[in-house]
Amino acid sequence: MGRATVHDLAKAAGVSLATVDRVLNRRGGVRAATIEKVEQAVDRLGYRRDVAAAMLAKQREYQLAFVIPTGVNSFLASLALEVRKLADALRSERVFLSIVEVPPFDGEALADALGRLRNQPLTGVAVVATDHAPVRLAVGGLAARGFDVVTLVSDAPGSGRAQYVGIDNSAAGRTAGSLMGRFLRGVKGHIAVVAGSMLLRDHAERRFGFEQVLRTEYPNLVALPAVEGHDNAAVAETALGAVLDRHRDIVGVYSLGAGNRGVLSALRNRGLAGAVCAIAHELTEHSRAALADGSFAAIICQDPGHEARSAVRILRALADGLPFDAGQERIRIDIYMRDNVP
């Protein structure tokens, strides 16, 4: 028996070719019972779409919006740069990427921006989310209107998003805890923790994983309550500086967000750079230099280019009703020290 066609589906389901086309392409105006008939015929006949031919015939376009916070966060700036590179590379494939900029750490502004996208002719949306009720509602609103939404870097589970693209942040925090414990084996003292904002799920998960490892495996090291630097060097310097001045037995610093220039300034101004074990996230110009001079012991990193490409591949697959390769889209946790910086 040859490969099943749309004509076979229409005959098996007892519907028109137009109805089959609407169901396969997930367009509205089809009753639930009819959709079920077509889907049952798809399963029964083992129908597989010739996606390349369908896209060529329809001159399919993909309009994808990336919602990314602006500001001084070097990693997010790198992510936006990778999206712009992809936008140039993918135009010939009729994939059009746009960036919607929002203020950092402002859940209301992010929710408003997502709400405005509901009236745009978009194929899908990728958003650096905050775990904030209005944001979850806004993502759910987009999903309810048929938009495919993926969260990027920081997740918002329970929002209706289709997929999360990013590292396992609890595992990243546990990795930082394990490194800190190994570097400070036998040393007793406090660890200062600097977050961007505990409203960000990725920051909260990193802190949880970090403290989990210290409490269970390295009780000689006690993590202090996290201070928030809002990914701003000046704010991070002031916040960490106050902690360093208040606690004279600090033996380590875990910077789990951005604002690492401020972290470095706070340490260097007190003669503590290299004297305490400092672990941070994301390989930037400043963190790379800090690895080289010994101010940072290790950097935990994720690849913004991989994340941008993965978000595009997943959104295209969702739009076409096709599976994606979960292994290919898994974002690695990379560890860099002075000896293996690329």
Which of 62, 65, 68, 63 is CA-nearest to residue 304? Answer: 68
Query: Does residue 205 lie in a domain region?
Result: yes
Q: Is residue 342 part of a domain?
A: no
196 in the same domain as 219: yes
DSSP category for residue 92: G
Cα–Cα distance between 322 and 270 in angstroms, integer? Answer: 56
216 in the same domain as 252 = yes
In DSSP terms, 102 is beta-bridged to 69
Same-domain pairing of 44 and 102: no
Angle at 141 between CA 136 and CA 144, to 5 degrees: 125
Adjacent-strand bridge partners of 298: 279
Count the domains in the chain.
3
Q: Are residues 286 and 178 in the same domain?
A: yes
Residue 262 lies inside a defined structural domain of this protein:
yes
* Average pLDDT of span 130-140: 93
Mean pLDDT computed over every residue of the chain: 92
Residues 220 and 315 occupy one common structural domain = no
Query: Is the residue at 15 inside a domain?
Result: yes
- For residue 92, being part of any structural domain is answered with yes
What are the pLDDT digits (tens) for 171-186? Answer: 999 999 999 999 999 9
CB atoms within 10 A of CB 300: 24
Q: Are residues 181 and 296 in the same domain?
A: yes
- Is residue 207 one of the residues assigned to a domain? yes
Residue 17 has pLDDT above 80, yes or no: no
d(CA 163, CA 317): 11
Judge if 160 and 245 occupy the same domain.
no
Amino acid at residue number 255: S
CA 85 – CA 81 distance, rounded (Å): 6
Whole domain around residue 291: which residue ranges? 169-301
CA distance 179 to 191: 13
pLDDT band, very low/low/confident/very high, at 57 (cuts 50, 70, 90)? very low
Q: Under a CB-based contact definition with an 8 Å cutoff, are residues 286 and 264 in contact?
A: yes
- DSSP H or E stretch at residue 172: helix 169-183
- 177 and 277 assigned to the same domain: yes
192 three-state secondary structure: strand
pLDDT score, position 267 = 98
**What is the CATH number for 94?**
3.40.50.2300
Region 24-45 average pLDDT? 81
Listed residue (138, 139, 135, 137) closest to 150, CA to CA:
139
Q: How confident is the model at residue 30, as a pLDDT?
A: 79
Same domain, 18 and 116: no
Task: Please indicate, yes or no, whether residues 204 and 249 belong to a single structural domain of this protein.
Answer: yes
User: In 3D, which of 98, 103, 106, 104 has the Cα closest to residue 80?
Assistant: 98
- For CA atoms 287, 101, 154, 87, give the dihedral sign: negative
Q: What is the CATH number of the domain that holds 40?
A: 1.10.260.40
Residue pLDDT, tens place only, 69-90 = 998 789 999 999 999 999 999 9
- The half-sphere exposure of 266 on its side-chain side, counting CA atoms within 13 A, is 29
- 186 in the same domain as 149: no
Residue 16 or 255, more confident: 255
In a domain, 116, yes or no: yes
Q: Quick one: pLDDT at residue 53?
A: 53
Residue 312 and residue 225 share a domain: no
- The reply to whether 1 falls in a domain is no
- Name every residue whose Cβ is closer than 8 Å to that of residue 28 and which is 6 or more positions away in sequence: 22, 146
Partners of 96 in beta bridges: 63
